[in-house]
Amino acid sequence: MQAVLFDLDDTLLDKSSSLMDCAWGFQCKYNACAEPEKFIKAFVRENEVIQPKWAAFRKIAKECALSDSLAEIMHVDFDQNFAQYCKAFPRALDTVRRLSNTGIKLAIVTNGRDFFQRNKIEALGLYGYLDAIVTSGELGVKKPTPEIFLHALDMMGAQAKYSVFCGDSIVADMQPANLLGMTTIWKTQRQSVQPAAVNYRFTHYSEFGSILGQIKFDRA
């Protein structure tokens, strides 16, 4: 095995929990809404959707009757400080550390604005363990486009057929990685039938080491 590549949001980063903590932090900081639960729900929902952040905060403001000026203040605050609320899934960081100690190359391949994604990676304490970080914001190409995966592999000098991709999205992670010849590991809470593009699946990082032990390559 030459390399393990990870997605970031909802794979290593517990995005929903992080957004929930951030939402409560903003509610307390700005006394944002007379109905806190309404604000929390809107904040998490709109920031989980893939859309420009200015659009997310405009929708939150409209739903919770906030002023445009407060929405913009929160938007700027979110861009600058969301990383401080970020938390990894249990045992995700231990998994990355252990893989790093084995000498396997490690990368994160993620869609999103470069500064924003890198701030989250730094906040999680992952920088020292990674051989490559590729963001769509920096490269100008988003998953599931093959180029973003190939760029990460090239940065590490790794071949797809001897590499593993771990992510939560079937469309953006599993399918393109599978088509490139990588072994795929799906991070999921679902109990549905395993899609064809998925080689292995897990819900908790305590399972990850065992899965890697099952993967066999012809060589390397």
Check which CATH number belongs to the domain holding 170 and give it.
3.40.50.1000
pLDDT tens-digit profile of 116-168? Answer: 999 999 999 999 999 999 999 999 999 999 999 999 999 999 999 999 999 99
96 and 174 co-located in one domain: yes
Distance CA 74, CA 167 (A): 30
Instruction: Output the pTM of the full model.
Output: 0.94
Give me the pLDDT at residue 191, please: 72
In a domain, 219, yes or no: no
* Domain count across the chain: 2
* Same domain, yes or no: 152 and 185: yes
Is 141 inside a domain boundary? yes
Same domain, 66 and 172: no
User: Mean per-residue pLDDT for 59-66?
Assistant: 96
What does the block give as tokens for 208?
A: 């990850």
Would you state the pLDDT for residue 219? 59
Asked whether residue 10 falls in the same domain as residue 33, the answer is: no
How many whole angstroms separate alpha carbon 168 and alpha carbon 74? 28
Are 63 and 96 found together in one domain? no
**Cβ partners under 8 Å of residue 119, min gap 6:** 82, 83
* Residues 20 and 106 grouped into a single domain: no
Q: Which two tokens stand for residue 93?
A: 């960081």
137 shares a domain with 74:
no
Opening angle at CA 91, ends 85 and 95, nearest 5? 115
Confidence band for 189, pLDDT divided at 50, 70 and 90 = confident
Residues 106, 30, single domain; the answer is: no
Range of the domain at 103: 3-14+87-214
Residue 21 binned pLDDT confidence (cut-offs 50, 70, 90): very high
Average pLDDT (55-84) is: 96
